[in-house]
């Protein structure tokens, strides 16, 4: 049974505050939720190699996204945007894996100075795939934590986002409308020859 929600954690540094925050929200969730931590997997650069030929965890990462009922993408702010490791994962991801997928966004920075950086860039990337980003994101900073643990307001905001993302995905899945029209990226996909499948 696929999870109702998968959290993609875009940090490759040792587990820290953001890891602890999303892990806590997963533990509190009243639905099935999984964590896919990029720091715990080996994923190479997007160089055009098919996922099945990479010899690393690229195929596992793609499968985690494809099988999720909904996603939450969580990233620390690096140079005013998402991490390079997270962008690389998007560069490796086939369009159908994210097309029509409901996605919540969580970003974390040292202060509120860059609070829109990662969110704005993530929304651009998600639009390319035809994903369905939640209208409001969660932004955390150092002041939201005490001794590495998120305070009650931060934990509540994460819980609300996680629940709303899963509920939105379930509601959209129950409609007959689908997710049309397809994004331009999907229209540009050329079917692979049968021998390459």
| Domain boundaries defined on the chain | 5-196
Query: Rounded to two decimals, what is the model's pTM?
Result: 0.90
Which CATH superfamily is 5-196 part of?
Flavodoxin domain (3.40.50.360)
Q: Check residue 155 and give its pLDDT.
A: 97
| SS3 call for 100 | coil
DSSP-based three-state secondary structure for 105: strand
Q: What is the pLDDT along the chain (197 residues), one digit of tens a residue?
A: 667 999 999 998 888 999 999 999 999 999 999 999 999 999 999 999 988 899 999 999 999 999 999 999 999 998 889 999 999 999 999 999 999 999 999 999 988 877 778 899 999 999 999 999 999 999 999 999 999 999 999 999 999 999 999 999 999 988 866 666 677 777 766 555 555 44
Going through 24-154 in order, the beta strands assigned E by DSSP cover 33-37, 71-76, 102-109, 132-133, 138-141, 145-146, 149-150
pLDDT of residue 107: 96
């Amino acid at each position: 049974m696929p999870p109702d929600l998968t959290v993609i954690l875009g940090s490759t540094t040792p587990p820290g505050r953001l890891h602890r925050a999303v892990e806590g929200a997963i533990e509190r969730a009243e639905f099935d939720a999984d964590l896919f931590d990029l720091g715990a997997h080996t994923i190479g650069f997007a160089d055009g190699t098919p996922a099945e030929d990479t010899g690393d965890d690229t195929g596992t990462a793609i499968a985690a996204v494809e099988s999720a009922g909904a996603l939450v993408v969580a990233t620390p702010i690096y140079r005013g945007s998402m991490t390079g490791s997270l962008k690389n994962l998007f560069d490796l991801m086939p369009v159908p894996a994210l097309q029509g997928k409901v996605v919540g966004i969580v970003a974390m920075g040292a202060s509120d100075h860059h609070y829109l950086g990662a969110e704005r860039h993530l929304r651009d990337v998600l639009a390319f795939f035809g994903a369905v980003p939640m209208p409001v994101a969660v932004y955390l900073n150092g002041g939201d934590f005490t001794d590495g643990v998120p305070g009650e307001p931060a934990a509540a905001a994460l819980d609300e986002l996680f629940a709303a993302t899963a509920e939105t995905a379930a509601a959209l899945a129950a409609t007959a409308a689908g997710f049309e029209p397809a994004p331009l990226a999907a229209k540009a996909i050329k079917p692979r020859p049968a021998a390459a499948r």
